[in-house]
Amino acid sequence: SYITEHKQKFDDLDTLIKNQDRIKRQANGGNSILFSYPPNEENAYINELRKIYTDKAEFIDVSKLLVKYIDVEGWDSFKDYYMAYQSTAHKVFSSDDPTVDLKDMIINAITEACQNNKIPFLIRSGCLFGTGIDSVNIMENDKVMSQSQPLVIFYPSKCENDLLYFLNFKPASKYRCTLVK
């Protein structure tokens, strides 16, 4: 049942957070945990997360960062920019130029949470679909890998035959993380 399954997952997550040295060993030097759950149960898992980790966590909502990113220039400017780069849409959300993009906003929020001695929990990560930003791009970021706190990515996905599928269909990497499934 959901209650039994989620209790075990949250117990596994808590054990990993308390034993951070284990994360780096299991995550090929990474500093991240992918917390896998069925996409249709996202609200239930996030609600439980908020109950359990109220004081020691910083919840970084990707959906809110995406809206904030678009609001910087306004919808019309964003739409024009996106349409100009439609064939390489990933450059709209994650580029090497000095302008702050969505990926920069995510990394900055993770860094700020750790500076405040909070565990960064990335929630609503399904919003990354179509942006060209994969979880591995975040997990392999030098700032994320060097933080004192591990990054926990709430990851709507399924595990099947030892493979991970983001949003239940897109093959996903679990190379730089420890997986809670």
Over residues 45-92, the pLDDT tens digits come to: 999 999 999 889 999 999 999 999 999 989 999 999 999 998 898 899
Q: Is 110 exposed, middle or buried (0-12, 13-18, 19+ CB in 10 A)?
A: buried
Which regions in the chain score pLDDT beneath 50? none
For residues 22, 26, 29 and 30, what is the CA-based torsion angle, rounded to 10 degrees? -90
pTM value is 0.94
Q: Is 33 exposed, middle or buried (0-12, 13-18, 19+ CB in 10 A)?
A: buried
